[in-house]
Structure 1
């Protein structure tokens, strides 16, 4: 564990190593007043990001800061317990390669997710592409893997990306945050 101190709070990192650019982003973030009273934890997959480091977790309960959430709003982690039986890794690899990753998407919508439920739905672009990207892997630090515990149990772990949907949502709300801050409005007044 490494402690990275800012002027307002201190982050605790669980990464074995952190590049200097990411370390400086963490230090700078821990110097922002909005982090006062927050518990900041840095996960092992930490690397420099746009608004803050990827791999940052933090307790903030009274503020919304879209740039700290980042452009991957809605990425997810799924962990599924498997039996103790041996894993056929060749078959797992075949299955993993079926899931679109990088810039690829499904040919048709796969998930039953109603995009119209999003408050920002009317501002989204490329809706059919977004619908076909839900349930895909993405790129970067997203993965499909099987892990084994010390007692021999296996777990399937999937870290999915939010794809372009997360980026658009982040940008919409970041613009709104800048506008609200410029006019001393609250989000409740806007919605």
Structure 2
């Protein structure tokens, strides 16, 4: 069948206003009805034109209906002169570029409050460790490219001595049951209810990512993502963390929503830059209004990606628990690249945490160190100045490129040997020396979280690239 041939003139002849609605309609029809006849395509567009309200929120025609109902020409957004209220924790250990990125974000017309965590360092849009509360607007780069990047810890009732006495067994389990980067997938992918979600059927762009999501389920990304065995030390029982005091083997994973989240981030960042173009210094802070079709669609897609990230972790932990022949005593997990609807000073706002751990009162979370430094299981204190947030790790001291120049393989190997850590994969850019001192970072956020347990890595698996 021939490809649909549609011109702007055709739409004008059936009554379309001569504005952006024409280009939006043509783009959507050529994408989703490219094998349809012109007559049937125009008949469908007539139905939308006559009753656009009936199509608001529709996965295919909602954007056309919105353009017909509220035609709007995007205008360059101006930054406010004054910053929204903010607090920086551990300010002396954070570089000026990261602080400058927060200051710019605080001048957005939609910004209402912000904070920067003590592991903060520069990124795109919001700095890593940045928290920003906005009014009815979501910033794709405020969430981050790796939507729903998160931590997940399983605690097993197995003596830590097994990690030394049966080290090869645990190394083999990580080699056989974890997959990293864009090259590796499981020979037999798992399954999860998240793959049956409505968003995979009702949002056309997300629908195109279903096959990728299925293949990558239960895998981890590259970079600083990992799956590792280590020693969990619980000094005393806590009312929020109900695991008996003692030492256990733990499995800790760090990864996000893989190709699904990355493609969603790219697509909706592009749409945000078209709808709310920003001056150069704030070009990565373009937002989507949650009252628009694209804003609502991104919110649904973001939450889907977050749930998919969680499903990936659960698949990893399920595979490894099966290999261990046991079930975990407890599991702790949290996102640290996401946006939530939360009450701030009596008002519902969109709280973006880009590399920041949710730390509402008595809420458990995980703050990892480097591969040779302890990570911490923490309980939030609900500090309003941090927008109920804490750091998501130690934070980088050296960028990836600088780390590769600053350290040698011998340096890397010596540090691993000194700490008794077995490493599978990873490059010099992930050397422990490239990260800040996690103990100093934790000391700078005692008013944000309380430590209830520690995790010390012993066998670490990362992407070989």
TM-score scaled by length of structure 2: 0.33
**Matches for 1:1-191 after TM superposition, within 5 Å:** 7-13=83-89, 17-38=93-114, 40-42=115-117, 44=119, 46-60=120-134, 62-83=136-157, 85-86=159-160, 88-89=162-163, 90=167, 91-97=169-175, 98-103=177-182, 104-112=184-192, 113-114=194-195, 117-118=198-199, 121-124=203-206, 125=208, 127-145=210-228, 146-149=230-233, 151=235, 152-154=246-248, 155-181=250-276, 187-190=290-293
CA gap of 1:17–1:43, structure 2 versus 1, over 3 A, is closer
TM-score scaled by length of structure 1: 0.71
CA gap of 1:81–1:48, structure 2 versus 1, over 3 A, is same
| 1:133 CA drift (Å) | 1.3
Extract unaligned runs of 5+ from structure 1. Answer: 1-5
Number of the residue aligned with 1:3:
none
Larger relative helix fraction: 2
The 2-side partners of 1:70 and 1:148 are apart by 30
SS in 2 for 1:36: strand
SS in 1 for 2:113: coil
Higher-Rg member (1/2): 2
CA gap of 1:165–1:86, structure 2 versus 1, over 3 A, is same
Extract unaligned runs of 5+ from structure 2. Answer: 1-81, 236-245, 278-287, 297-465
CA gap of 1:8–1:164, structure 2 versus 1, over 3 A, is same
The 1-side partners of 2:162 and 2:92 are apart by 30
Contact residue 180 and residue 187 of structure 1 kept, 8 A:
no
What is the RMSD of the two structures over their aligned residues, measured on CA atoms? Answer: 3.5
| 1:68 CA drift (Å) | 0.4
Contact residue 73 and residue 166 of structure 1 kept, 8 A:
yes
CA gap of 1:31–1:179, structure 2 versus 1, over 3 A, is closer
